[in-house]
Chains A and B, each alone.
Chain A
Amino acid sequence: MSAAAPDITILTQGLSRSFGTVAAIRKVDMAILRGEIFGLVGPDGAGKTTIMRMLAGILTPDAGAISVDGIDVVRDAESVKHHVSYMPQRFGLYEDLTVTENLFFYGELFGVSRRDRLARSRELLAAAGLLPFQDRLASQLSGGMKQKLGLVCALIHAPRILLLDEPTTGVDPVSRRDFWAILYSLRESGVTIVLSTAYMDEAERCSRLALLHAGEIRHCDTPERLKQAMPGALLAVAGPDPRTLRTLIAGRPGVLGVLLMGDRVHVRVDDPARRIPELEALFAGQGITGAVISSADPGIEDVFVALVGTQTAS
């Protein structure tokens, strides 16, 4: 572990863990750099929470090594707890305590001085839009506000590393955006953030992603490069009757995937330059007018399905 390069904050090697006979994660290797927003992306049950808990030092791996900020987490889990802040998936704060009381509690546990605590709470609560709710019981906050309070409490001791397990699950888009605005400002100040999410659209906001499937990391790269790695190109075909369009397109040569959306069809083709004219000719031949083909930005979900998805039985 001593070989870790100075700019690598978190390093895992061959991390594995089973629960009973079920292997939750298998041989996970990750190198997370300082100042990154690193996303663990995968559906429920892919092993995201297991990895996060092991990084936080509250779950012991069956095999493998974890180094966080140079600390061997497997051997010395307690030391790492001074350096990282972990926000579990389920709201972990005390609902029968107010916003301020929760902040006081976590501030004291981390030994934050009174002056720092007051200054930092003020700043963080303002950023989260929670200043007017300081004396409100946590149970009285909306889902989005609770998650933001969780983040504020996790940040009260100004940790250099932040572990967030599905922080935006159940949070509406507006609160989610506030949440990300805080994460970006943390990144500016050099905090390393690891977060997990089941939402592929959210994953695009991360600087680097690990696509997690059935306990294994299948691909790990920036969103940009993952999209480039997706075989083929994505087209959007809009028209008055998407259902008919979809039926026509499915199974045509060069078509790698077809997905019926609400008012259009997403088509993944091997070679757009060749296939667009072919599709246009197909529609014309069927007497369909008003179908518009345009190239579409693939989302991470498209990438996930193309790179990972097809091996799955369910």
Chain B
Amino acid sequence: MNATGPAVVAEGLTKRFRSFTAVDHLDLRIEKGEIAGFIGPNGAGKSTTIRMLCGLLRPSEGRALVAGFDVGQQPEAVREHIGYMSQKFSLYGDLTVRENLRFFGGIYRVARGEMGERTRFAITMAGLQEREDALVRTLAGGWKQRLALGCAILHRPPILFLDEPTSGVEPEARRRFWDLIHELAAGGVTILVSTHYMDEAEYCNRIALIDRGRLVALGTPGQLRSRHLGGELFEIRCTPLGAALHVLQGAAGVIDAAIFGDRLHVVLGPGGLDQAGLPGFLQEHGVSVQAVRTVTPSLEDVFVRLVSTHHGGQDSS
């Protein structure tokens, strides 16, 4: 295994199913110790990409190196060097914590001499010291999820795939989970996260937005926010909301407008309405404005923007 090269390299990675191109010439480079997020709508090609990188699907074209191994030529070697965990990860509910660990240790062929130390590590990491003999189904969500993580890294994989790892988990437990992930990354493990929940994406160092099999955007969360919205995001408190929305949707300079709770979120591009002009414009149309302020766009705003641009404004589902 290459000691200094990137953890994952994809060059022109393509997967076709008959006439349908699920992944279309994807180029990607992920460094060691990086937490990289794959985000995209359902059917965008996210899971096909991950499956190719895990050596479960053979690329139709192009190639990818994972931990230095070619996913098309040496899928077995790739699989030995990765760990995989999802929120719906199948721990066995009717086995105890320790029995689950022993089972996955066997699956991953962890050396007998190392098993004790790895099990202890996983149990400590998950905070399950006093519950080693508890049946897994009796554990709360946060514990289960950390145990699943422990199982996925028993064999010290240099690369770890996480599939929607924290959806629905308690906020406190989720934060603790991401702390663990950041610690693993600090120790040199490369983490690939696949999700369509933007709050999970926020924890990634870099995000690859995939849509219709193509890489649409790549960058840190901050870069995506500042580069890809096409303008600045404003929050407007006004009444009535519906009328305001209607007026703004056709106005010059408005890239996007939508109701958000009891406010409006409006993206203003260059050459049209600006922050100063907004209240007056709305009042002219019979809308009374209470406040206008800039807000930091969420990754979800960026995502929706990028995907709808990419689809020419069509419904993306």
Chains A and B touch each other in the complex, with CB atoms below 8 Å apart: yes
Binds A, one of B19-27, B59-67, B152-160, B258-266: B258-266
Q: Does B252 contact A (CB under 8 A)?
A: no
B residues less than 8 Å from A199 (CB atoms): 167, 197, 199
Contact residues in A for B315 (Cβ distance below 8 Å): 129, 174-175, 178
Task: Specify which chain B residues have a CB less than 8 angstroms from the CB of A205 in the assembled complex.
Answer: 260-261
B: interface residue count bin? 35 or more
Comparing B104-112, B174-182, B274-282, the segment that makes contact with chain A is: B174-182
Is A173 among interface residues, defined by CB-CB distance under 8 A? yes
Tell me how far the C-beta of B177 lies from the nearest C-beta in chain A, rounded to whole angstroms.
11
Residues in B neighbouring A259, C-beta threshold 8 A: 175, 178
Assess whether B208 is interfacial by the CB under 8 Å rule.
no
Q: Is A145 an interface residue (CB 8 A)?
A: yes
Q: Which residue from chain A places its CB closest to the CB of B175 in the assembled complex? A: A259
B203 contacts A261, C-beta separation under 8 Å: yes
Give the CA-CA distance A203 to B34 in the complex, in Å. 30
Chain B positions within 8 Å of A44 at CB level: 141, 168-169
Q: A238 CA to B206 CA in the complex, in Å?
A: 14
Residue of B nearest to A180 (CB): B259
Residue-wise interface mask of A (208-222) relative to B, using a CB-CB cutoff of 8 A (1 in contact, 0 not): 000001000000001
A177 touches B42 (CB 8 A): no
Contact call A45/B261, Cβ cutoff below 8 A? no
A204 in the interface (beta carbon within 8 A): yes
Asked if B140 and A201 sit within 8 Å, CB to CB, the answer is no
B-contact bits for A1-45, CB 8 A (1 contact / 0 none): 000000000000000000000000000000000000000000111
- Please name all residues of chain A whose beta carbon is closer than 8 Å to the beta carbon of B201 when the two chains form the complex: 262
Q: Which stretch from B10-18, B78-86, B299-307 is at the chain A interface? A: B299-307
Contact of A261 among B141, B206, B221 (CB under 8 A): B221
**Most chain A CB atoms below 10 A, which of B173, B196, B201:** B196
**Chain A residues closer than 8 Å to B143, beta-carbon distance:** 314
A184 contacts the other chain (Cβ, under 8 Å)? yes
Partner of B178, one of A143, A188, A260: A260
Q: Are B140 and A263 closer than 8 Å at their CB atoms?
A: no
A309 closest partner in B (C-beta): B172
For B182, list chain A residues within 8 Å (CB).
243, 260
- Complex formed: what's the CA distance from A206 to B259 in Å? 11
State how many angstroms separate the Cβ of B298 from the closest Cβ of chain A.
7
Assess whether B198 is interfacial by the CB under 8 Å rule.
yes
Mark out the residues of chain A between 255 and 275 whose CB falls within 8 Å of any chain B CB in the assembled complex.
259-264
Q: A178-B315, A309-B171, A314-B142 are in contact. Are A201 and B199 (CB under 8 A)?
A: yes
A173-B196, A260-B179, A262-B203 as given contacts; A309 in contact with B170, CB under 8 Å: yes
In the assembled complex, how far is the CB of residue B16 from the closest CB belonging to chain A, in whole angstroms? Answer: 20
A148 and B317 contact, CB distance less than 8 A: yes
| Contact A301 B222, CB 8 Å, known A142-B42, A243-B182, A314-B142 | no
A129-B315, A178-B317 known; A201 vs B198 contact (CB < 8 Å): yes
Could you tell me the distance between the alpha carbons of A201 and B141 in the complex, rounded to whole angstroms? 20
How far does the Cβ of A124 sit from chain B's closest Cβ, in whole Å? 14
Chain A 174-191: CB-based contact to B (< 8 A → 1; otherwise 0): 110110110011001000
Specify which chain B residues have a CB less than 8 angstroms from the CB of A43 in the assembled complex.
141, 168-171, 173
Contacts of A223 in B (CB 8 A): 261
Residue pair B317, A172 in contact (C-beta under 8 Å) = yes
Contact between A207 and B262 (Cβ–Cβ < 8 Å)?
yes
Chain B residue nearest to A175 (CB atoms) is: B317
Cβ of B47 under 8 Å from chain A: no
| B151 at the A interface (CB under 8 A) | no
Query: Known contacts A172-B42, A262-B220, A263-B205: does B317 contact A204 (CB below 8 Å)?
Result: no
Q: Which residues of B contact A175 (CB under 8 A)?
A: 41, 315-317
Identify the interface centre among A129, A143, A263, A299: most chain B CB within 10 Å of its CB: A263
- Residues from chain A with Cβ under 8 Å of B43 in the complex: 142
**Chain A residue with Cβ nearest B33:** A243
The interface residues of chain A lying within 8 Å CB-to-CB of B300 are 173, 201
- Report B-chain residues with C-beta under 8 Å of the C-beta of A206: 261
Nearest B residue to A172 via CB reads B41
> A313 in the interface, Cβ–Cβ < 8 Å?
yes
A310 within 8 A of B: yes
21 contacts between A and B (CB under 8 A): A44-B141, A44-B168, A129-B315, A169-B167, A172-B41, A172-B196, A174-B304, A175-B41, A177-B258, A180-B258, A184-B259, A188-B242, A201-B298, A243-B186, A260-B178, A260-B182, A261-B203, A262-B204, A262-B206, A263-B221, A297-B295
Cβ-closest 9 pairs across A and B:
A309-B172, A314-B142, A129-B315, A172-B41, A144-B317, A314-B140, A43-B170, A44-B168, A263-B220
Extra pairs beyond A145-B317, A262-B207 (14, CB < 8 Å): A45-B141, A129-B317, A169-B167, A172-B317, A173-B303, A178-B317, A184-B242, A200-B199, A205-B260, A260-B178, A262-B220, A309-B170, A309-B171, A314-B173
User: Which residues of B pack against A, CB within 8 Å?
Assistant: 35, 37, 40-43, 139-143, 167-173, 175, 178-179, 182, 186, 196-199, 201-207, 220-222, 240-242, 258-262, 295-296, 298, 300, 303-304, 307-308, 315-317
